[in-house]
């Protein structure tokens, strides 16, 4: 079973940058044998991945909005076409019955609960 991903603060990259700068200025890399090269590489990787993540999120949002708009237009054409077929066969119950699967599914309405006096 895979381990759960650790929650990371939104400002982690800023924290990492400040920490790397502090490690350099205090000389902690030598004093405590901290791997400054790895920390610096981590900072570069974090910044690059965060930038790519933001870019992908923006691209997704643009695509998703366009998809929803196009889908609504397609659905409107579908409904219009379905209405034409239903109108053309309004006197043929067997054809109308065969069009039942294309009806919009509706959820039963919840009954209003009476308010206590």
pLDDT digits (tens, 9 = 90+) for 71-117: 999 999 999 999 999 999 999 999 999 999 998 887 787 777 777 76
Residues 6+ apart with CB under 8 A from 25: none
What is the per-residue burial (b if ≥16 Cβ within 10 Å, else e) of 70-106?
eeeeeeeeeeeeeeeeeeeeeeeeeeeeeeeeeeeee
Asked whether residue 53 is assigned to any structural domain, the reply reads yes
Q: Identify the domain containing residue 81 by its residue range.
A: 12-100
pLDDT digits (tens, 9 = 90+) for 62-84: 999 999 999 999 999 999 999 99
pTM confidence score: 0.65
Asked whether residue 115 is assigned to any structural domain, the reply reads no
**Tally of domains in the chain:** 1
Q: How high is the pLDDT of residue 2?
A: 67
Report the mean per-residue pLDDT for the chain: 93
Asked whether residue 110 is assigned to any structural domain, the reply reads no
Asked whether residue 30 is assigned to any structural domain, the reply reads yes
Asked whether residue 113 is assigned to any structural domain, the reply reads no
Asked whether residue 108 is assigned to any structural domain, the reply reads no
């Amino acid at each position: 079973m895979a381990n759960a991903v650790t929650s990371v603060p939104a400002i982690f990259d800023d924290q990492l940058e400040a920490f790397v700068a502090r490690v350099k200025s205090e000389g902690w890399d030598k004093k405590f044998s901290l791997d400054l090269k790895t920390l610096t590489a981590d900072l570069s990787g974090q910044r690059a991945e965060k930038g790519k993540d933001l870019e992908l999120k923006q691209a997704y949002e643009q695509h998703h909005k366009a998809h929803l708009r196009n889908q609504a237009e397609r659905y409107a054409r579908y409904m219009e076409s379905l209405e034409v077929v239903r109108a053309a066969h309004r006197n043929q119950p067997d054809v109308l019955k065969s069009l039942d699967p294309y009806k919009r599914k509706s959820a039963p309405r919840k009954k209003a609960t009476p308010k206590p006096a």
